[in-house]
Amino acid sequence: MNTQTPYRVLVTKVGLDGHDRGSRIVAAYLRDAGMEVVYTPPWQSVDQVVRLANDEDVDLVGVSSLSTDHLIVPDLMQALRKAALEHVPVVVGGIVPDTEHALLFDAGVSAIFGPGTARDTIVNTVRQLAAAARDALENPFT
């Protein structure tokens, strides 16, 4: 069943920065790779992203960050766990200083896509993470 329905992914931005060119490009990549992309405007709060991930029942959350908003992501990871959404992998794309990668990985982020990351790398990583998340989830209510 998992191979038949397209993966659903959320592409969003948290915090105050409004530069959304990157998230739009990645959303188009994922769409062209056959995924259903729930796309939001920038300026989402942590609680809003959690709600979106729940209501849209996505297989993965992608957060785009240009100017330090990636520092909000650890809060997001915690909020997802609190909402029983710990199975949903989170990836971050954009400008994340090397010195802060560990901070995000320690918080549970699955992948970081810096500038120049190849389209195939993004698509394949997202697909693998989404597939694993879906398999792990199989029927939580039955």
Q: Which spans of this chain sit near another protein (rule: CB under 8 A)? A: 1, 4-6, 8, 27-28, 30-41, 44-45, 47-48, 51-52, 54-57, 83-85, 139-142
Q: Please say whether the beta carbons of 88 and 57 come within 8 A.
A: no
Residue 14 Cβ, how far from another protein at the closest point, in Å?
Answer: 13
Burial of 125 (0-12, 13-18, 19+ CB in 10 A): middle
* Residue with smaller CB distance to another protein, 7 or 112: 7
Residue 102 Cβ, how far from another protein at the closest point, in Å?
Answer: 31
* Residue with smaller CB distance to another protein, 106 or 135: 135
Residue 97 Cβ, how far from another protein at the closest point, in Å?
Answer: 29
* Residue with smaller CB distance to another protein, 116 or 140: 140
Residue closest to 10 by CA, chosen among 62, 54, 47: 62
Q: Please say whether the beta carbons of 76 and 106 come within 8 A.
A: no
* Residue with smaller CB distance to another protein, 56 or 100: 56
| CA gap 23, 25 in Å, rounded | 5
